[in-house]
Amino acid sequence: MVTTVVVLYVAKASKTVQFQDFDRSIFAKIFPLPLLYVGNHITGLASTKKLSLPMFTVLRKFTILMTMMLEVYILRKSFPKRLVYSVMTIVFGAIIAASSDLAFDAEGYTFILLNDAFTAASGVYTKKKLSDQSLGKYGVLFYNALLIVIPTLLASAFTGDLHKAVTFEDWMKVTFVFCFLMSCLMGFVLMYSIVLCSYYNSALTTTVVGAIKNVAVAYVGIFVGGDYLFSWTNFLGLSICMSGGLLYSYLTFNSNSNYKPTESKTEEAQELKIHIADDSTGKRSAI
pLDDT single digits (tens) 98-126:
676 656 677 888 888 899 899 889 888 88
Name the CA dihedral angle for 100, 101, 106, 109, rounded to a multiple of 10 degrees. -100
* Mean pLDDT on 223-227: 63
Poorest-pLDDT segment among 41-55, 95-109, 128-142, 168-182: 95-109
Burial class (CB in 10 A: 0-12, 13-18, 19+), 79: middle
Q: What amino acid occupies position 14?
A: S
pTM (2 decimals)?
Answer: 0.69
User: Before 32, cis peptide (omega within 30)?
Assistant: yes
- pLDDT tens digit string along 36-51? 888 888 888 888 887 7
Rounded-to-integer distance, Cα 183 and Cα 108, Å: 26
DSSP 41-94: HHHHHHHHHHS-HHHHHHHTTHHHHHHHHHHHHHS-----HHHHHHHHHHHHHH
